[in-house]
Homo-oligomer: A and B are copies of this chain.
Amino acid sequence: MNASSRTRIAVNGYGVIGKRVADAVARQDDMELAGVSDISADWRARMVTQKGYRLFGAASEHAQAMRDAGLDVAGTLDDLLGASDVVVDCTPKRVAAKNVEIYRQRGIKFIVQGGEKHEVTGHSFVAEASYESALGGDSTRVVSCNTTSIVRTLTALKHAGLLRRARGTLLRRATDPWESHLGGIMNTLVPEPGIPSHQGPDARSVDPDLDVITMAVKVPETLAHLHYWAVQLTRPADKEEVLDAFRASPRIALIRMADGLTAINAVKELMADLGRPHDNLYEVALWADMLKVEGDELFYGYMVDNQAIVIPETVDAIRALVGQVRDPHESIAKTNAALGIGAVVDALGGR
């Protein structure tokens, strides 16, 4: 594929998601990172040019502040959108909702993140569940980290004909590592006020057939989320059958306590050892030896890297909107290969 046929991607917002999307897009041979737009003129913006990406100011005053800081600025968001086929919005909540009006006026395809409501695009995206309904569309929403993990795992059980209903408890990390200087050390647990928490209904925005209810609580650590599930199966099953269902998903990594992966920090360290950027865990990391089947009931726990899990989904969402790759499995395989997804599973012998 030559450069001229590549899809040109704008990344608007260079925070924990935007920086990872930019890196992931830069690794795809059918995409070209047209540039990155942000409002920051500090070290974060400097990293954009350091990496060789073109830097744009969200508005002219931001571009000017960047120039005043000695940064090489290619223009404004407006210029960036003019040079792009798809824009991935990675700005904070509320900001994104306003940006959407701009994207619509300019007629550029766009992707928003899970902080936005389903109604913003009318389509919610997880590659293994809703790629095909996004094909050629104007926009989609990549659902949140927790919801992505829920849809991935329950879709795997559904495809195996095993899923009746799922009830989950979600331990949500208190804050992102990058923002952990903004709050004090937290020595408490903060339940979400309502049951069900929003993730269950949100999963149904991707697949309305899922019978899923979630409860959630904020816990004082910064590494990842952790989910525990009690699933009613359609029938009694054996453990190997359930593991095979999860193995069939290319983005679920089976890990083992017995391998020394006894806590979420150990899994993050493994990602660092694998040389992944930002120690990203793109997969749902599910403990195979902890998993238990009791008759027609299934119990398991898994880890969700809230900064990384949506990155491969975002790459696939771009391809779905562009519409050239029609088969979700082809896009997923392409993205996985570019990001090294699968290596951890192979390394651990999980397949």
* Interface residues, chain A, with chain B CB atoms under 8 Å away: 167, 169, 171, 185-191, 193-196, 213, 215, 217, 219-224, 226, 228, 230, 257, 262-265, 287, 289-292, 294, 297, 299-301
**A293 CB to nearest chain B CB (Å):** 10
Contact A189:B219 (CB < 8 A) given known A230-B230, A290-B194, A290-B195: yes
Contact assessment for B257 and A193 in the assembled complex, using a CB-CB cutoff below 8 Å = yes
Contact assessment for A265 and B188 in the assembled complex, using a CB-CB cutoff below 8 Å = yes
Contact assessment for B219 and A219 in the assembled complex, using a CB-CB cutoff below 8 Å = yes
9 nearest A-B residue pairs (beta carbon)? A188-B265, A169-B169, A195-B292, A167-B230, A190-B263, A169-B228, A193-B257, A195-B299, A188-B263
Contact assessment for A190 and B294 in the assembled complex, using a CB-CB cutoff below 8 Å = no
User: Chain B residues with Cβ under 8 A from A213's Cβ?
Assistant: 230, 294, 297, 299
Contact residue among B188, B217, B219, B297 (Cβ-Cβ distance under 8 Å from A223): B188
Contact assessment for A228 and B217 in the assembled complex, using a CB-CB cutoff below 8 Å = yes
**A112 CB to nearest chain B CB (Å):** 29
Contact assessment for B189 and A264 in the assembled complex, using a CB-CB cutoff below 8 Å = yes
Contact assessment for B219 and A220 in the assembled complex, using a CB-CB cutoff below 8 Å = yes
Contact assessment for A217 and B257 in the assembled complex, using a CB-CB cutoff below 8 Å = no
Contact assessment for B171 and A223 in the assembled complex, using a CB-CB cutoff below 8 Å = no
Contact assessment for B228 and A187 in the assembled complex, using a CB-CB cutoff below 8 Å = no
A194–B287 alpha-carbon span in the complex (Å): 10
A213–B195 alpha-carbon span in the complex (Å): 20
Contact residue among B217, B222, B287, B297 (Cβ-Cβ distance under 8 Å from A301): B217
User: Chain B residues with Cβ under 8 A from A187's Cβ?
Assistant: 221-223, 265
A263–B218 alpha-carbon span in the complex (Å): 9
Give 19 pairs: A residue, B residue, CB < 8 Å, sorted on A.
A167-B230, A171-B217, A185-B185, A187-B222, A188-B221, A188-B223, A188-B263, A188-B265, A189-B219, A189-B223, A189-B224, A189-B263, A191-B257, A195-B301, A213-B230, A215-B228, A215-B299, A219-B219, A220-B220
User: Chain B residues with Cβ under 8 A from A196's Cβ?
Assistant: 292, 299
By beta carbon, the residue of chain B nearest A195 is B292
User: Chain B residues with Cβ under 8 A from A186's Cβ?
Assistant: 221
By beta carbon, the residue of chain B nearest A293 is B195
A111–B253 alpha-carbon span in the complex (Å): 47
User: Chain B residues with Cβ under 8 A from A185's Cβ?
Assistant: 185
A155–B213 alpha-carbon span in the complex (Å): 24
**A339 CB to nearest chain B CB (Å):** 24
